[in-house]
Structure 1
Amino acid sequence: MSAPSTSPIPVQSSTKGSSERHHELTKGLTTRHIQFIALGSAIGTGLFYGSAGAIKLAGPAVLLAYVVAGLAVFMVMRSLGEMALREPNAGGSFGRYARQYMGSGAGFLVGWMFVIEMLVVAIADVTALAVYLGRWWPDVPAWVWITAVILLVTGLNLIHVKVFGETEFWLSILKVGAIIAMILGGLAIIVFHLGQPGSAPVGAQNLVEHGGFALNGMLGILLSFTVVVFAFGGVETLGLASAEATEPTKAVPRAINTIPWRILLFYILAISVILCLVPWTEITGDESPFVQIFDALGFPWAADLLNVIVITAAFSALNADSFAIGRMLHGLAAQGDAPARFARTNDRGVPFMAVLMVAAALVIGLILNVLIPENVFTVIAAIATFATVFVWVIILLSHLGMKRKIARGEIEQGPFSTPGWPVASWLALVFMVLVIVLFAFDESTQPALWAGIVGTIALVAIERFLVRPRRSAQDAATPSRESTL
């Protein structure tokens, strides 16, 4: 039997006689764009606020959890990079890789799981932006800010991919600069004793005192993985962005090899400073741990500065989320797993229908956020946590499928290989599955597990009974259409 084709899946035109270029994405992202899109996507709420929950679970030993999770995420990124660079001009949609190496069902499942995840996160981001802006203009209704933010993000994503890349680059620069400032501010407190943020003296002794480095033992470290891993969520956006890179063979390897370490370094340094400043037992999670640093400095403008930082972080994340959803919908449409209209691009190579759908979903989601009781919406939002790890598992499984085809001689090995193969890849996969299993052992994450299971079953059923029959009918009709060309 002949080896299956590995060429890009052609997009069927939704309008007879339309040009192929109306389905192609523009190559407008430079190497620095690619690097900072991934960096900006992963540095946000997970660091500024989510770190408190991880610290409460593991204590100072949370630093070990970040290191282990960072190594596993690095393997996910290397796996994604190897698949992307084997066909650098075919795009980096992990939905396409899942379809190519695992089957059409896997491609549909991971693609839509990612879309759902990003939509929920985007709704949370735009809601948070309204709250942050309300600090300075409390008399302005929240819907005004929400409408303005949706219009702005949609406009940025419709103009040209280079505009998006440039915007995300500078927003990420601001976020990274803010984190560096926080780290330096914390070090200033430690070295120059500018303030007393906690009940105990500042210093490295806070890492081992107050119950010890790992008071909650191995169980605490394991449970913290459910929070820590999600903090790295967004790095997979790099794969989607690679489809529009001007030099993918240069930009993608550089980003994949450096971004995980940069993110890990920022997290480790920032959280280490926090743990040295304040006994971990005093971190309640009611506010961002970083707030304590600025409060301790005693500067009157500290609160407003922090508000600028969180606004920048939330807007950057929302901008990247909208980009990622639009490109994934474009890829799903190219595979026949989404309406064909989402594959169409405008004269600037932007999938405008997919971007507009994201804007509409944000509006609908915000309406539901108001109408649905808060506890019910929390369960729905928990899908985002489950979906992040789920997407990474599928990426790793797709990579394993590719490696099996290479071993059988069906396809050739690409220029970018995964280190430590196969042991490192299998360890990363086992780790990700372990994280999903750990959701069942903590009451705060059990809703994420159940919501994820229900969502997965629903998507599998939709693909099996609705999408697959329609796709089979279209495939059967394809030869007759081609014969008339």
Structure 2
Amino acid sequence: MSGGTRPGAGTRIDGPRPDGGAQGIGGTQRRVLTARHVRFMALGAAVGTGLFYGSAQAIQTAGPAVLLAYLIGGAAVFVIMRALGEMAVRHPVSGSFGQYAARYLGPLAGFTTGWTYTFEMIVVAIADVTAFGVYMGFWFPDVARWVWIVAAILLLGALNLVTARVFGELEFWFALVKVAAIVAMIVGGAAIVVFGFATASPGAAGLDTLLGSGGFAPHGVLGVVASFAIVMFAFGGIEVIGITAGESEDPRRVIPRAINTVPVRILLFYVLTLAVIMMIVPWDRIGVGESPFVTIFSELGIPAAAHILNAVVITAALSAINSDIFGAGRMMFGLAAQGHAPRAFMRLSRSGVPWLTVGVMMSALAVGALVNALLPEDVFAVVASIATFATVWTWVMILLTHAAMRRELRRAGAPAPAFAVPGWPWLPALTLAFVLGVLVVIAVLPETRIALVVGVSWLLGLLLAYRFLVRPEGKTRPVLPTGDGQDDADADNGNGNGNGNGNGNGGGSADAVAPAP
């Protein structure tokens, strides 16, 4: 693996500048994602299989107390996204947190973070493209599942090759459909609760139904803790907001606004939605074999409930696949810029799209879907837990990278960031402890323990790959551009940060150039 370097000056990432995007081979990335695109990407990033189907398993694990689990998990995700947003505003590069980790923690950290995120996106996308084939089979049972899988891969792959703006428009409309379905469900469910409309379930809807089957926490604290392995899966993929910084028209304005919508989304999509569902249908009647959304539409007496939900989950699956192709592709582009992936991944089309990484994702999805078809059908929990491990590992690295950046800026005497994470340093520290606790939960539960085995094996494989496949030029810390177009070494010039070259002039931090051990 190789990447461009400047002898003795570390890997200099030609990242986004105020007048354009990152320079690749044969072209330049373009800033074409508007505030509307990024906002709706943020709106729809956490709405997918984890909500429409995974929430049923979380409800069975924790009972009504799953609402508390989503609140706690959502609060942790908000802190993580604020940390990522702070770094994205300072360094709006396409590789996002993979490049941040390489810059502030070292090239090995960047290598493992970038490839683990790519692994996560591939695993989740394989699950979603397989699910898409199943959903289409509901309407067209005589058509082979592989036909729909191939169609989805070719269609979304082709659209991602056009321009980043097409990706943004697709995500906008996909998110709009998903949000409309959720709002309709909440309004209909609230009408049942408030006005007492009759439902298929015996008894009146309301708090009595919510708490009538064993109270708020029928499985106790352990049930809530165990549910985090499923709950956190639902938030996976939200990191794509940070990756859009490299192609956003105005990342300093757009990224903060998108990230600050996270608390509202958590309350609307998860807490309020599931609360309404469990006020109408006793939680112990919500089976894992059926989506809670099918249950609620059936309770509303809508005969086409299954068809409505099928249309929504098809949209959710396409949205997730689209987002995964974009996120993994841009991450591989950033890895190539650091010398952590084949340099060919930096090839850009005339429209500024890293076309080879899109092709790699399409190939990985095709092979993965074939392999997935040979596995037992009931593998959602395993896939979810593996994706959760990769997601949580990525979040851990984001928090550690943010802490390292803050430490360096403090030593350099730099002013406080404009989009600073709240509650520094205690809130990020508590969040880090929480996400590490989720990894412990994954390791302890028998049904998710395989994810730890796969995850640790993956990390060991990455260590070997870094040791034997990454060339020396890929083992230097990159110099990243800042939001004002300067390189970070230039931005900190004269501050004499603690990682300097020993003469205190700050004219090129050795932190950005020294070979990694």
Q: Is the 8 A contact 1:197 1:293 kept in 2?
A: no
Q: 1:200 deviation in Å?
A: 4.1
Tell me the residue number matched to 1:30: 34
Name 2:491's counterpart in structure 1.
none
Q: Which residue of 2 aligns with 1:115?
A: 118
Q: What CA distance in whole angstroms lies between the structure 2 residues aligned with 1:119 and 1:157?
A: 16
Distance 1:147 1:359 in 2: 9
- Structure 2 letter corresponding to 1:261: V
Query: Where does residue 482 of structure 1 map in the other structure?
Result: none
Q: 1:250 aligns with which of 247, 253, 257?
A: 253
Q: d(CA) in 2 for partners of 1:215 and 1:372?
A: 34
The one-character-per-residue Cα deviations of 1:72-114 (angstroms, maximum 9, x if unpaired) are 10110000011111134x3461100000010000101011111
Matches within 5 A, 1:343-382: 343-372=346-375, 382=385
CA shift, 1:228, in A, is 1.1
Contact 1:35 1:259 in 2 (8 A): no
Deviation at 1:48, TM superposition (A): 0.7
CA distance in 1, matches of 2:347, 2:184: 43
Equivalent residue of 1:415, what SS?
coil
Residue 458 (structure 2) aligned to one of 455, 459, 464: 455
Deviates more, 1:446-455 or 1:348-357: 446-455
C-alpha change, 1:326 and 1:29, in structure 2 (3 Å) is same
8 A Cα contact 1:226 1:438, kept in partner: yes
CA contact (8 A) 2:84 2:402 kept: yes
1:406-417 equivalence runs, <5 A: 406-409=409-412, 413-417=416-420
Q: How many residues matched?
A: 464
Divergent runs of 4+, >6 A:
4-7, 375-378
SS at match of 1:310: helix
User: Structure 2: which amino acid aligns with 1:74?
Assistant: F
Aligned to 1:15: none
Give the superposition deviation at 1:23: 5.1
Does the CA-based 8 Å contact 1:198-1:282 persist in structure 2?
no
- Check 1:320–1:448 CA distance in 2 against 1; reply closer, same or farther (3 A cut): same
Give distance in 1, aligned partners of 2:312 and 2:89: 35
1:302 matched residue in structure 2: 305
Amino acid at match of 2:169: E
8 Å CA contact retained: 2:55, 2:231: yes
> Structure 1 residues 109, 225: closer, same or farther in 2, change over 3 A?
same
Say whether the 8 Å CA contact 2:71–2:266 is kept in structure 1.
Answer: no
Identity of aligned residues (%): 51
Which of 272-281 and 420-429 deviates more?
Answer: 272-281
Q: CA deviation at 1:373?
A: 5.6
Instruction: Please tell me the residue identity of whatever aligns with 2:57.
Output: G
Task: Provide the residue aligned with 1:54 in structure 2.
Answer: 58
Aligned counterparts of 1:218 and 1:87: Cα–Cα separation in 2: 41
Deviations 1:419-456 (A, max 9, x none): 10000010010000001011122222111122111111
Q: Contact conserved, 1:342 with 1:354, CA < 8 A, in 2? A: yes
Q: Is the 8 A contact 2:48 2:317 kept in 1?
A: yes
Change (3 A) 1:433 1:345: same
Provide the rounded CA distance (Å) in 2 between the counterparts of 1:331 and 1:23: 15
Q: 1:121-151: CA deviations, max 9, x gaps? A: 1111111111111111111111211111111
Write out aligned runs for 1:198-237 (5 A).
198-237=201-240
- Say whether 1:128 aligns with 2:125: no
2:39 partner amino acid: Q
The whole-number CA distance in structure 2 between the counterparts of 1:268 and 1:471 is 44
CA distance in structure 1 between the partners assigned to 2:283 and 2:378 by the alignment: 28
Kept in 1, the 8 Å contact 2:233–2:385? The answer is no
**What RMSD in Å do the two structures reach over aligned CA positions?**
2.4
Q: Output the CA distance in 1 between the equivalents of 2:113 and 2:45.
A: 19
Whether 1:240 aligns to 2:243 is: yes
Unaligned 5+ runs, structure 1: 12-18, 476-485
- Distance, in Å, in 1 between the alignment partners of 2:10 and 2:253 is 22
Cα 1:252–1:52 change in 2 (3 A) is same
2:173 is aligned with 1:170: yes
Give the structure 2 partner of residue 481 of structure 1. none
Matches within 5 A, 1:50-129: 50-88=54-92, 90-91=93-94, 93-129=96-132
Structure 2 match to 1:293: 296
State the one-letter code of the partner of 2:55: S
For the pair 1:396 / 2:404, whether they are aligned, the reply is no
C-alpha separation between the residues in 2 aligned to 1:207 and 1:20? 55
How far is 1:458 from its partner? 1.4
Identify the residue that residue 147 of structure 1 maps to in structure 2: 150
- For residue 446 of structure 2, what is the aligned residue in structure 1? 443
1:325 aligns with 2:328: yes
Which residue identity is paired with 2:270? Answer: Y
**Contact 1:197/1:292 (8 A) holds in 2:** no
State how far apart, in whole Å, the 2-side matches of 1:174 and 1:366 are.
26
Answer yes or no: is the 8 Å Cα contact 2:78–2:263 preserved in 1.
yes
Give 1:62 shift: 1.1
Q: Is the 8 A contact 1:225 1:435 kept in 2?
A: yes
Looking at structure 2, the residues matched to 64 and 376 of structure 1 have their Cα atoms a distance apart, in angstroms, of 26
Asked if 1:338 is matched to 2:341, the reply is yes
Letter in 2 for 1:171: F
CA distance in 2, matches of 1:181, 1:444: 34
Give the deviation of 1:414 after TM superposition.
3.2
- CA distance 1:375–1:273, change in 2 (3 Å): closer
1:39, 1:263 within 8 Å by CA — same for their partners in 2?
no
* Aligned-partner SS, 1:22: coil
Q: Distance in 2 between matches of 1:267 and 1:145?
A: 30
- Alpha-carbon deviations, 1:126-181, whole Å to 9, x = none? 11111111111111111211111111100110111111101110110110001001
Deviation at 1:411, TM superposition (A): 5.8
For the residue of structure 1 that corresponds to 2:422, the secondary structure is coil
Of residues 362-371 and 168-177 in structure 1, the stretch that sits farther from structure 2 once superposed is 362-371
Kindly provide the amino acid, as one letter, of the partner of residue 31 in structure 1.
A
CA distance in 1, matches of 2:408, 2:361: 36
TM-score normalised by length of structure 1: 0.90
Out of 260, 264, 272, the residue aligned to residue 261 of structure 1 is 264
Q: Which amino acid aligns with 1:183?
A: I
> Residue type of the partner of 1:263?
I
Cα deviation for residue 193 of structure 1 reads 4.2
1:27 and 1:383, CA in 2 relative to 1: closer, same or farther beyond 3 A? same
> Any gaps of 5 or more consecutive residues in structure 2?
1-7, 16-22, 479-517
State the distance in 1 between where 2:240 and 2:24 align. 25
Residue 161 of structure 2: which of 143, 151, 158 is its match?
Answer: 158
Deviation at 1:297, TM superposition (A): 1.9
In the alignment, which residue of structure 2 is the partner of 1:423? Answer: 426
Q: 1:5 offset after TM fit, Å?
A: 8.1
Pair 20,208 (structure 1): closer, same or farther in 2 beyond 3 Å:
closer
Task: Give, in angstroms, the shift of residue 201 of structure 1.
Answer: 3.0
Change (3 A) 1:372 1:191: closer
Aligned to 1:483: none
Cα distance change, pair 55–8 in 1 and its aligned pair in 2 (3 A): farther
Partner of 2:436: 433
TM-score, structure 2 as length reference: 0.85
The 1:55/1:5 distance shift into structure 2, 3 A limit, reads farther
Shift of residue 189 of structure 1? 2.6
- The answer for the alignment partner of 1:16 in structure 2 is none
